[in-house]
Structures are given as structure tokens and as C-alpha cells.
């Protein structure tokens, strides 16, 4: 009888993994179709279908998710021009555009302006655009100045009212102030974990310059752009290391049953609103290391923001659960791709100080996995996301079983 009771207790604890299954099974509306191809596969398709431009494109420098397709960029080493292409997710026309440095000869003259300058009628069939120099070739004559070649390529649309990122940043600042005023016992293990993940991200930055595609400009050598991206990223990581030393994670414990529940919340938020930048990272080689690093470093920021929010709500601590619950609903409905981090902050703010680091990791981990599972349709990142989800479930199961044994 004792063995049966022990087994029932263990099985009852493992039942807390059910929210993870529910979060994976719940059907969610898809605002955009799942990306069926990797950015490198999209680049191969663009190179097959785009017309020959009469110049060297250079290497594929970067990509980003735009609408229902990939926006890709090629640039030669001299940087005098760049070629952008938008490859749709599925059948459709590949749209491209050539952009040339302003210091090249030519002044963006249209065909009509060129005709006015020539002053005499010319056969339409004899007009030919010189793409690299942006010149017009008319019969045996050449006129400097031409329009950029190609058509309009979709660009990412920025949010006109980025309320949620600014709100989260304010909570982080409030949490940093709270750590100075009310210092707690440092969790040295978590601080070392944050340091290790910052080092992993620093090692992966040179291989992740492709996600900085918005930095590339015609007329600037690509290695200069990549060096600027690398320097900026390393500067941010160094600042994170200094901040971790000053505002270290606090020591605390958390109930094992809350881990799968928070993991499920992160999964559902990621599936509802996949973050496009996470989809960009899915096309990189070291994506697994980057995801793990972002999970731990992001959870530290989430916990810091949660402490700031908790202290800001201290004067109304009686109705704090109502405020946090209402904020969670608003975040799911209106935060868009920031729903995952916002829900993680709100959930972490609902528990005691020093007990949120594990929950922050579970929430951010689930948000990353949910975004990848919902937004990616090719094999490699799906396998990596499934591996991360398996690791998270195993850790949660071990914690639940340990609770069952100790009770």
C-alpha cells in the first residue's frame, strides 16, 4: 500500500505537465503563414529567378522576415551597390531592387529627363539602362544619370506606438533602483549562469551579423558595417555583464508545480505572436547557443523588471493580483510580438522576491520555443526547438518528482 501511495503521489505531480501539452494543442490564428523555407533556400530561389543585372552581386550579407516572405541582401566587397530581393513564402514573383552609392557617376535621371536633355526624338527600343553606373545608353551615345533599377521591395513596418517595449524598459529601471535600495542575498549560481550565457552570446555575435541587415547601406563596405554591428553588440553584452555584477539575481526557491505552468504561458504567448527577430535568428548556424543565452539573460531582465513592477504596485498591494491579471489579458490581446516578455514580467511580479529566476527562464524559454514552432516550417530550427522543449519538460518533471519524494 505504501508503494502504491508513493507511485500515485509521483503520478499526481507529473500531471502538472498537462498545461504544456494544452499550450501546444490549442489552435491559434496565424496572422502570417509559417515560413516554409530557410533564408539560404530563399536566396537560392532568388538567384535562379531574378534577371541577370550585368554586375557582381557579391555575397549574401543578411536577411529578415518581412510580411509573408524573406527580405534578402547581397553586397560586393567594395560596397558600391547592393541588391535587395523579397522572396514570398510560396508561389509568387520575386521582387528585387538595385541601390547604388551616391558617389558613383550619375544623378538619378529619369528617361523623360534624359530625353529633354537630348533634345531630339530617340527610338524607344534603343534605350538601355546601365545598372552599375546608373547611366542611359542611347544607340552609340551615353548619358550619365539613371533611375535605380528594379521595383519596390517590402520593408519592415515599424510600430508607431511602441508602448510595451518602453513600459518594460521602465520596469527594468525601477527594478534596478529597487535592487540598490533593498539589496538581497545574491544567487551566485544564477549570476555565474548569466555570465556564461553572455560569453556564449559574445562568441556567437561574429556569426550573427546576418540579422543586422538593416545596417547595410550602399557606398559603405560590408566589413565596415559588420564591424560596427559587432562592436555595438559586444558593447551591449559588456554592459550586461557589468549590470549583472551590480544587480545580481537574488536567491530564492519556487514551487515545482509553477514551472510547467509558466512554461505553458510562454509557449502560448510565442505561438500567438511569434517575434519576427526570433525567426531571423532561426536562419543562423549557432541559433541553439543564441536561444539558450537569450533565455537566461532575458530571464534576468524579466526578473529585474518584475521586481520594479512589484515595488511600484506596493501601495495598492491589496488589488495587485487584479492589476496583474488585467495586465496579462491586455498583453495577450494588444502587446503583439512583445506579449511573451510582458506576460513573463507580470507572472514573475505575482510571486515573492528571490523566487522568480526559475520562472523567468521557463517563461522566456517557452516564448522562444513557441515562436519558433509557430513561425518556422523548415527542419533544422524545429528540431532545435523540440530539443529545448524536451529539456525544459525533463527539468520540470525532475523538480516535480523531487517534490513528490520530499512530501
Mean of pLDDT values over 200-222: 92
Is residue 350 over pLDDT 50? yes
Task: Kindly provide the residue ranges of all beta strands, DSSP E only, lying in 117-242, ordered along the sequence.
Answer: 127-130, 135-138, 141-144
Mean of pLDDT values over 101-119: 59
Distance set, CA 333 to CA 240, 273, 336, 338 (Å): 31, 10, 7, 11
User: How many CB atoms within 10 Å of residue 314?
Assistant: 9
Mean of pLDDT values over 109-129: 57
Per the model's pLDDT, the better-predicted residue between 326 and 389 turns out to be 389
**DSSP category for residue 123:** -
Mean of pLDDT values over 31-36: 73
Mean of pLDDT values over 99-121: 61
User: What DSSP element (H or E) covers 63?
Assistant: strand 59-66
Is residue 1 over pLDDT 80? no
CA distance 88 to 95: 9
User: How many CB atoms within 10 Å of residue 206?
Assistant: 13
Residues 6 or more apart in contact with residue 36 via CB below 8 angstroms? 89, 90, 377, 378
CA distance 24 to 21: 5
Yes or no: say if 36 and 53 are a contact pair by the CB < 8 Å rule: no
268-315 pLDDT per residue, tens: 888 888 888 888 999 998 999 999 999 999 989 988 888 888 888 888
- Going from N- to C-terminal start, the domains of the chain cover 2-30+166-406, 39-100
Q: Could you tell me how many residues make up the chain? A: 407
240-269 pLDDT per residue, tens: 999 998 888 887 777 777 788 888 888 988
CA distance 271 to 368: 9
User: What DSSP element (H or E) covers 118?
Assistant: helix 111-118
Is residue 107 over pLDDT 50? no
Yes or no: say if 292 and 299 are a contact pair by the CB < 8 Å rule: no
User: How many CB atoms within 10 Å of residue 85?
Assistant: 26
The pLDDT mean for the chain works out to: 81
CA angle 216, 217, 223 (to 5 degrees): 55
Residue (of 298, 313, 382) closest to 343 by Cα position: 298
Residue (of 303, 295, 298, 302) closest to 366 by Cα position: 295
| Residue at grid coordinates 521582387 | 95
Number of H helices, E strands in the chain: 14, 7
56-90 pLDDT per residue, tens: 888 999 999 888 889 999 999 988 888 999 999 88
Amino acid at each position: 500500500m505504501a508503494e502504491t501511495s508513493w507511485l500515485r503521489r509521483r503520478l499526481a505531480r507529473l500531471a502538472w505537465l498537462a498545461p504544456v501539452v494544452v499550450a501546444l494543442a490549442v489552435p491559434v490564428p496565424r496572422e502570417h503563414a509559417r515560413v516554409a523555407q530557410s533564408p539560404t533556400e530563399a536566396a537560392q530561389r532568388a538567384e535562379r529567378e531574378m534577371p541577370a543585372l550585368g554586375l557582381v552581386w557579391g555575397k549574401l550579407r543578411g536577411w529578415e522576415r518581412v510580411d509573408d516572405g524573406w527580405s534578402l541582401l547581397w553586397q560586393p566587397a567594395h560596397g558600391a551597390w547592393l541588391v535587395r530581393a523579397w522572396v514570398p513564402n510560396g508561389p509568387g514573383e520575386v521582387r528585387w531592387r538595385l541601390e547604388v552609392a551616391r558617389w558613383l557617376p550619375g544623378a538619378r535621371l529619369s528617361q523623360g529627363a534624359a530625353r529633354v536633355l537630348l533634345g531630339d526624338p530617340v527610338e524607344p527600343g534603343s534605350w538601355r539602362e546601365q545598372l552599375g553606373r546608373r547611366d542611359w545608353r542611347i544607340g552609340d551615345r551615353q548619358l550619365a544619370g539613371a533611375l535605380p533599377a528594379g521595383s519596390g521591395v517590402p520593408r519592415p513596418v515599424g510600430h508607431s506606438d511602441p508602448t510595451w517595449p518602453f513600459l518594460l524598459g521602465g520596469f527594468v529601471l525601477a527594478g534596478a533602483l529597487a535592487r540598490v535600495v533593498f539589496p538581497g542575498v545574491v544567487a551566485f549560481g544564477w549570476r555565474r549562469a548569466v555570465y556564461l550565457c553572455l560569453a556564449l552570446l559574445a562568441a556567437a555575435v561574429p556569426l550573427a551579423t546576418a540579422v543586422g541587415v538593416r545596417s547595410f547601406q550602399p557606398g559603405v563596405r560590408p566589413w565596415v558595417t559588420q564591424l560596427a554591428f559587432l562592436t555595438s553588440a559586444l558593447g551591449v553584452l559588456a554592459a550586461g555583464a557589468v549590470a549583472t555584477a551590480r544587480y545580481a539575481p537574488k536567491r530564492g526557491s519556487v514551487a515545482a508545480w509553477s514551472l510547467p505552468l509558466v512554461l505553458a504561458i510562454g509557449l502560448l504567448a510565442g505561438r500567438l505572436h511569434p517575434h519576427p527577430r526570433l525567426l531571423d535568428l532561426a536562419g543562423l548556424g549557432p541559433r541553439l547557443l543564441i536561444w539558450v543565452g537569450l533565455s537566461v539573460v532575458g530571464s534576468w531582465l524579466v526578473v529585474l523588471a518584475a521586481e520594479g513592477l512589484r515595488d511600484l504596485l506596493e501601495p495598492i498591494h491589496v488589488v495587485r493580483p487584479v492589476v496583474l491579471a488585467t495586465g496579462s489579458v491586455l498583453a495577450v490581446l494588444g502587446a503583439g510580438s512583445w506579449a511573451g516578455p510582458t506576460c513573463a514580467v507580470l507572472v514573475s511580479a505575482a510571486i515573492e522576491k528571490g523566487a522568480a529566476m526559475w520562472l523567468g527562464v521557463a517563461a522566456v524559454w517557452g516564448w522562444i520555443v513557441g515562436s519558433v514552432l509557430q513561425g518556422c516550417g523548415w527542419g533544422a530550427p524545429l528540431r532545435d526547438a523540440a530539443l529545448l522543449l524536451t529539456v525544459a519538460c525533463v527539468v520540470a518533471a525532475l523538480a516535480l518528482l523531487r517534490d513528490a519524494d520530499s512530501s
